[in-house]
């Protein structure tokens, strides 16, 4: 295999699905009798945050143990043998969406290193926006990188820090880092969970008897029977040792939090609680708000399954139009099939979604989807409804137009491929061939998730994908852009 080039910051992966994708989920447990079994279950509940690889590291009081694999958690961590390889009362794990090419397992987290202070393992959700610059500095001084992951920068910064304690070395490292991170760190002294100063990526803390747990979403606690304590706060480090003592440190002052609002729109599971609010209720409220902002005459409210379902229920309840399954989703998807050459049109969408023809025929329908990214899937779904005989197809979107790339750990198409970056509302409607098209307003979205609207001075969330208002500087991108002025759509800040 080729030595893969560095791919630490640039988010322009070619997504073959037509969704933004959360790139990671993390989970940790300390002082737990079966730390790695709990971690495996917790990761399984976070599987929607990353399906391509999973890893767990455990510590048994003397040694660290590691196991990583491509594929789902269940394929790698469901057997007694796998769990037996991960003994001890402390463990942390990671699921990730993408592994770049063949370099495969090297980039699967948690990353691990032998430092002078002992073993050091880290699981990271997010993206460091000055990783390329930091890496070049470290390599220049003699550091040798094992992976192409931005996360490894943090480890080398810790390894070369001159502070005496591991906690101080971690803070020293994080002061140099810019971007989004929720981290779970393990050392021979215990577990450290922390979130970047703006809290862009989520991290919650739970308890099960004596054990302390950390996870990207509360649903991971449900599956292991634990209770939620609270969120790890933006800019906070929570340190838990093996005596059970818990300390909280806030070395970065008190910036205003900016958690990612797309967790409410799409990333989190509906049965999670995020930023103090039930995600299911938030999505229903978005659907209801959408029905108020953009009502329409129709016979059926049809969700694009599965992510559009809660918003569709909210829309149906607000509007009084019946909620019906006009599109049936197959649970057996995944790979691209060879297409027969004759006559089979659009079957790649059909494999996943099939029109419920008997229901749809002759009806006016309102389709509800969570977002429009490239628009290609939306077009195919509208066409599928029309082929099934729908009289009218109205499209309502449970988020504002997605017009900007994310640089904080979400897999986004490059900006030139985002439909909303390329055209205004009416051309979008024509592109997807709907009879009408409406998005929720940005203020409507903030209202649906519990605020009075967006605070333009101090926005309560990171909503850069809608507004282009990036809450941190983007050092690596700036350098890349200087080199590649030919990119048709310069993305942030200056715009």
Which residues within the stretch 357-376 sit at the binding site for a copy of itself (CB under 8 A)?
Answer: 357-359
Which residues within the stretch 94-113 sit at the binding site for a copy of itself (CB under 8 A)?
Answer: 112-113
- Phi, psi (degrees; rounded to nearest 5) at 21: -125, 120
Q: Which residue has the tokens 């926006």?
A: 129
Pattern of binders to a copy of itself over 295-334, x per CB under 8 A?
-----------x--xx--x---x----xxxx--x-xxxxx
Q: Does 292 bind a copy of itself (CB under 8 A)?
A: no
- Kindly give the residue spans of alpha helices, DSSP state H, lying in 393-456: 419-422, 425-432, 442-448
11 or 50: CB nearest a copy of itself: 50
Both structure tokens of 42: 């917790």
Q: Which stretch binds a copy of itself (CB under 8 A): 11-19, 207-215, 258-266, 370-378?
A: 207-215
Query: CB of residue 239 vs a copy of itself: minimum separation in angstroms?
Result: 22
153 or 290: CB nearest a copy of itself: 153
d(CA 291, CA 186): 47
144 or 457: CB nearest a copy of itself: 144
d(CA 199, CA 207): 21
437: left (phi over 0), alpha (psi -120 to 50) or beta: beta
Both structure tokens of 221: 């606690």
Q: Count of residues for the chain?
A: 495
Both structure tokens of 18: 């037509």
Q: HSE (CB half, 13 Å, CA atoms) of 467?
A: 19
* Binding residue (CB under 8 A) for a copy of itself from 14, 335, 424, 485: 335
Tell whether residue 307 is among the known ligand binding residues. Answer: yes
**Cβ neighbours around 325 below 10 Å, total:** 14
Tell whether residue 369 is among the known ligand binding residues. Answer: yes
**Cβ neighbours around 210 below 10 Å, total:** 11
Query: CB of residue 85 vs a copy of itself: minimum separation in angstroms?
Result: 6
What DSSP designation does 341 have? S
* Binding residue (CB under 8 A) for a copy of itself from 61, 70, 101, 139: 139
Q: In the annotation, is 296 catalytic?
A: no
What DSSP designation does 266 have? I
Torsion of CA 352, 355, 358, 364, to 10 degrees: 150
251 or 270: CB nearest a copy of itself: 270
- Phi, psi (degrees; rounded to nearest 5) at 485: -70, -10
**Per the residue annotation, which of 15, 24, 56, 90 is the catalytic one?**
24
Both structure tokens of 123: 């699981």
Pattern of binders to a copy of itself over 56-95, x per CB under 8 A?
-------xxxxx----xxxx-xxxx--x-x----------
Torsion of CA 314, 319, 324, 328, to 10 degrees: -60
331 or 483: CB nearest a copy of itself: 331
Query: CB of residue 433 vs a copy of itself: minimum separation in angstroms?
Result: 19
Q: Which stretch binds a copy of itself (CB under 8 A): 43-51, 233-241, 403-411, 422-430?
A: 43-51
Residues touching a copy of itself: how many (CB under 8 A)?
Answer: 101
Instruction: Check if the beta carbon of residue 322 is closer than 8 Å to that of residue 316.
Output: yes
Cross-strand pairs, 35: none
Q: Which stretch binds a copy of itself (CB under 8 A): 154-162, 173-181, 420-428, 432-440?
A: 154-162
Cis peptide before 306 (omega within 30 of 0): yes
Tell whether residue 296 is among the known ligand binding residues. Answer: no
Query: CB of residue 29 vs a copy of itself: minimum separation in angstroms?
Result: 9
Both structure tokens of 247: 């300390």
Q: Does 164 bind a copy of itself (CB under 8 A)?
A: no
322 or 453: CB nearest a copy of itself: 322
386 or 422: CB nearest a copy of itself: 386
C-alpha pair distances (Å), 41 with each of 59, 138, 219, 420: 18, 37, 11, 38
Query: CB of residue 341 vs a copy of itself: minimum separation in angstroms?
Result: 6
Q: Does 48 bind a copy of itself (CB under 8 A)?
A: yes
C-alpha pair distances (Å), 261 with each of 127, 237, 267, 345, 354: 16, 22, 9, 36, 30
Q: Does 37 bind a copy of itself (CB under 8 A)?
A: yes
Which residues within the stretch 3-32 sit at the binding site for a copy of itself (CB under 8 A)?
Answer: 3, 32
Q: Which stretch binds a copy of itself (CB under 8 A): 152-160, 174-182, 253-261, 424-432?
A: 152-160
Instruction: Check if the beta carbon of residue 396 is closer than 8 Å to that of residue 366.
Output: yes
* Binding residue (CB under 8 A) for a copy of itself from 52, 168, 222, 233: 222
Instruction: Check if the beta carbon of residue 57 is closer than 8 Å to that of residue 110.
Output: yes
Tell whether residue 443 is among the known ligand binding residues. Answer: no
Pattern of binders to a copy of itself over 237-276, x per CB under 8 A?
--------------------------------xxx-x---
Query: CB of residue 155 vs a copy of itself: minimum separation in angstroms?
Result: 7
Query: CB of residue 307 vs a copy of itself: minimum separation in angstroms?
Result: 11
Q: Does 485 bind a copy of itself (CB under 8 A)?
A: no
Both structure tokens of 135: 């890496």
- CB-based contacts of 107, cutoff 8 Å, min separation 6: 53, 96, 99, 100, 147, 148, 149
Binding-site positions: 260, 307, 369-370, 406, 462, 465
Which active-site residues does the annotation give? 24
């Amino acid at each position: 295999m080729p030595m893969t080039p560095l791919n630490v910051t640039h988010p322009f992966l070619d997504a073959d699905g037509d969704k933004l994708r959360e790139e990671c989920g993390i989970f940790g447990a300390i002082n737990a009798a079966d730390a790695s079994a709990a971690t495996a279950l917790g990761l399984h509940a976070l599987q929607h945050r990353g399906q391509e690889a999973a890893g767990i590291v455990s510590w048994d009081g003397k040694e660290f143990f590691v196991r990583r694999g491509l594929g789902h958690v269940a394929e790698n961590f469901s057997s007694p043998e796998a769990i037996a390889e991960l003994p001890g009362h402390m463990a942390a794990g990671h699921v990730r969406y993408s592994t770049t090419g063949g370099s495969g397992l090297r980039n699967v987290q948690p990353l691990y290193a032998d430092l002078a202070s002992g073993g050091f393992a880290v699981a990271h959700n997010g993206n460091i926006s000055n990783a390329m610059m930091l890496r070049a500095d470290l390599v220049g001084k003699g550091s040798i990188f094992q992976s192409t992951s931005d996360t490894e920068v943090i480890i080398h910064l810790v390894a070369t820090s001159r502070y005496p304690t591991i906690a101080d070395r971690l803070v020293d490292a994080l002061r140099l880092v810019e971007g989004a991170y929720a981290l779970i760190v393990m050392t021979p002294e215990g577990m450290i969970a922390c979130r970047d100063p703006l809290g862009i990526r989520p991290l919650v803390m739970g308890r099960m008897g004596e054990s302390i747990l950390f996870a990207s979403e509360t649903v991971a606690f449900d599956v292991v029977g634990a209770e939620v304590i609270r969120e790890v706060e933006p800019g906070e480090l929570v340190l838990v040792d093996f005596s059970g003592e818990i300390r909280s440190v806030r070395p970065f002052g008190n910036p205003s939090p900016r958690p990612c609002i797309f967790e409410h729109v799409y990333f989190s599971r509906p049965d999670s609680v995020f930023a103090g609010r039930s995600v299911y209720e938030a999505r229903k409220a978005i659907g209801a708000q959408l029905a108020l902002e953009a009502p329409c005459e129709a016979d059926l409210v049809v969700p694009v399954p599965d992510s559009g379902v809660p918003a569709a229920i909210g829309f149906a309840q607000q509007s009084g139009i019946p909620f019906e399954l006009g599109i049936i989703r197959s649970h057996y998807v995944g790979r691209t099939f060879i297409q027969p050459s004759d006559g089979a049109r659009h079957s790649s969408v059909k494999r996943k979604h099939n029109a419920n023809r008997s229901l749809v025929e002759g009806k006016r329908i309102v389709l509800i989807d969570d977002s429009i990214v490239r628009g290609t899937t939306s077009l195919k779904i509208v066409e599928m409804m029309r082929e099934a005989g729908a009289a009218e197809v109205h499209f309502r979107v449970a988020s504002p137009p997605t017009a900007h790339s994310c640089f904080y750990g979400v897999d986004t198409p490059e900006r030139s491929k985002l439909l909303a970056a390329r055209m205004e509302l009416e051309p979008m409607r024509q592109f997807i061939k709907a009879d009408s098209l409406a998005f929720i307003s940005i203020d409507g979205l903030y209202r649906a998730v519990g605020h009075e609207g967006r605070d333009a001075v101090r926005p309560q969330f990171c909503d850069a994908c809608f507004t282009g208002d990036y809450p941190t500087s983007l050092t690596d991108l700036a350098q890349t852009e200087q080199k590649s002025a030919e990119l048709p759509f310069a993305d942030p800040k200056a715009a």
